[in-house]
């Protein structure tokens, strides 16, 4: 990302080199947070001064032209250490990095793919921790900004005895909600093979306008657009607003992933397991519609074929990030070969891989810490065949 002298000045954070050993909590020293005064890129010239993430040598994060660019929220999930209790009853919480689009970006990198993340966090300890976690996982973070006027988003997640979740969000507003169109790294989007996004950033301005502009830039550049609405009703003013917001950009997507609950929600309560109901969500330019069904696997629909791929049965500890791991699994393969969309046999193999990605993720607490490597997925696939 070029820096120009004509832009307004503010401090950019120089981060320590990536740490080996995967994702883990850590403290940053004051010395590691020394900031040099440099200028921001022209796209940010009129913005309130925000900081872009740089690597230890002052260069943008990993991989100049990542195959998959993920746009949206990056936050901290606080997950109870004991399942089956309410937030008030939980004795303690485990801090875990999360945010659906960021989960996908890390998931792709863990699987050996090339990814980037675009979004905004607070100019705070959690924001810098999340930036470093992206770098530690080989995710290009040159599109990540730090907002000095808002905090990094937090979410407390209750885990029922069956591993399913309930959420309490702290965003009043959080930094991710304040990303502006003029702050977008559009070149990063235009050079990608796939642009992946959700719906959370469509809820409020100015991020809504930035989200729409990012999607348009991807479409205009011929980038494949992947969409996972990731319904979080507590964040929307009403269920009707959520439905309208999610569907407002539906027809811009080439690949859509939804859960069976979201099928029911978007079709006003119709049977999500009825193929005729699900096919109502197809649109003329959609290349692939995927419906995840947790441990039962997934269904797939295209203009040429449709079917079901069974999942891998595991003991669920925490389902946070399972859908994102599934998305990472399929996008990591599509990014190297778009012809999967026309070949049903190979698509089914890719979806089997994605199902295992999701299954392995639910066996640990937290989203990003639980995302599997390619080796782990292949080992699980081999054991299933054996």
Q: pLDDT-based confidence at 163, cuts 50/70/90? A: low
- Ordered domains of the chain (ranges, CATH): 68-384 (3.40.1190.20)
Would you call 47 helix, strand, or coil by DSSP? coil
pLDDT in tens, 227-243: 999 999 989 999 999 99
Give the whole-angstrom CA distance, residue 201 versus residue 101.
Answer: 10
Closest by CA to 67, choosing from 375, 350, 335, 339, is 335
Cα distances (Å, whole numbers) of residue 222 to 108, 146, 181, 189: 21, 29, 20, 10
Q: pLDDT-based confidence at 247, cuts 50/70/90? A: very high
The DSSP call for residue 244 is H
Q: Does pLDDT of 36 surpass 50?
A: no
Instruction: Give me the pLDDT at residue 1, please.
Output: 37
Would you call 130 helix, strand, or coil by DSSP? helix
Query: Where is pLDDT greater, at 59 or 90?
Result: 90
Query: Where is pLDDT greater, at 301 or 50?
Result: 301
Consecutive H or E run containing 288: strand 288-292
Q: Does pLDDT of 11 surpass 60?
A: no
Reported pTM: 0.83
Average pLDDT (251-259) is 98
Give me the numbers of helices (H) and strands (E) for the chain, helices first please: 10, 16
Cα distances (Å, whole numbers) of residue 308 to 96, 351, 380: 32, 9, 20
Instruction: Give me the pLDDT at residue 54, please.
Output: 52
């Amino acid at each position: 990302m070029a820096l120009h002298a004509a832009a307004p000045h503010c401090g950019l954070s120089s981060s320590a080199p990536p740490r080996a050993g995967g994702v883990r909590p850590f403290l940053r020293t004051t010395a590691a947070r020394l900031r040099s005064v440099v200028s921001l890129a022209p796209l940010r010239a009129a913005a309130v001064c925000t900081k872009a993430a740089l690597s230890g040598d002052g260069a943008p994060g990993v991989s100049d032209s990542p195959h998959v660019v993920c746009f949206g929220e990056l936050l901290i999930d606080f997950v109870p250490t004991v399942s089956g209790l309410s937030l008030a009853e939980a004795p303690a919480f485990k801090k875990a990095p999360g945010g659906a689009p960021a989960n996908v970006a890390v998931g792709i990198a863990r699987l050996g793919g090339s990814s980037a993340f675009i979004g905004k966090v607070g100019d705070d300890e959690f924001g810098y921790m999340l930036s470093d976690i992206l770098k530690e996982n080989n995710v290009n973070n040159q599109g990540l900004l730090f907002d000095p006027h808002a905090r990094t988003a937090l979410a407390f997640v209750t885990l029922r005895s069956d591993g399913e979740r309930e959420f309490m969000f702290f965003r009043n507003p959080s930094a991710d909600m304040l990303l502006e169109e003029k702050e977008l790294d559009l070149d990063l989007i235009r050079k990608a093979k796939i642009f992946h996004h959700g719906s959370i950033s469509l809820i409020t301005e100015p991020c809504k306008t930035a989200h729409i502009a990012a999607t348009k830039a991807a479409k205009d550049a011929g980038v494949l657009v992947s969409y996972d609405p990731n319904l979080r009703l507590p964040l929307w003013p009403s269920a009707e607003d959520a439905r309208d917001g999610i569907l407002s950009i539906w027809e811009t997507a080439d690949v859509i992933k939804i859960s069976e609950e979201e099928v029911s929600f978007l079709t006003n309560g119709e049977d999500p397991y009825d193929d005729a109901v699900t096919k109502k969500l197809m649109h003329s330019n959609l290349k692939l519609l995927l419906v995840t069904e947790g441990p039962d696997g997934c269904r797939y629909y295209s203009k040429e074929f449709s079917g079901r791929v069974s999942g891998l049965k595991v003991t669920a500890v925490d389902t946070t990030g399972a859908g994102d791991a599934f998305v990472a699994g399929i996008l990591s393969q599509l990014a190297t070969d778009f012809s999967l969309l026309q070949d049903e046999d190979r698509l089914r193999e890719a979806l089997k891989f994605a199902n295992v990605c999701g299954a392995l993720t639910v066996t640990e607490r937290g989203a990003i810490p639980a995302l599997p490597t390619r080796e782990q997925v292949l080992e699980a696939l081999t054991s299933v065949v054996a």
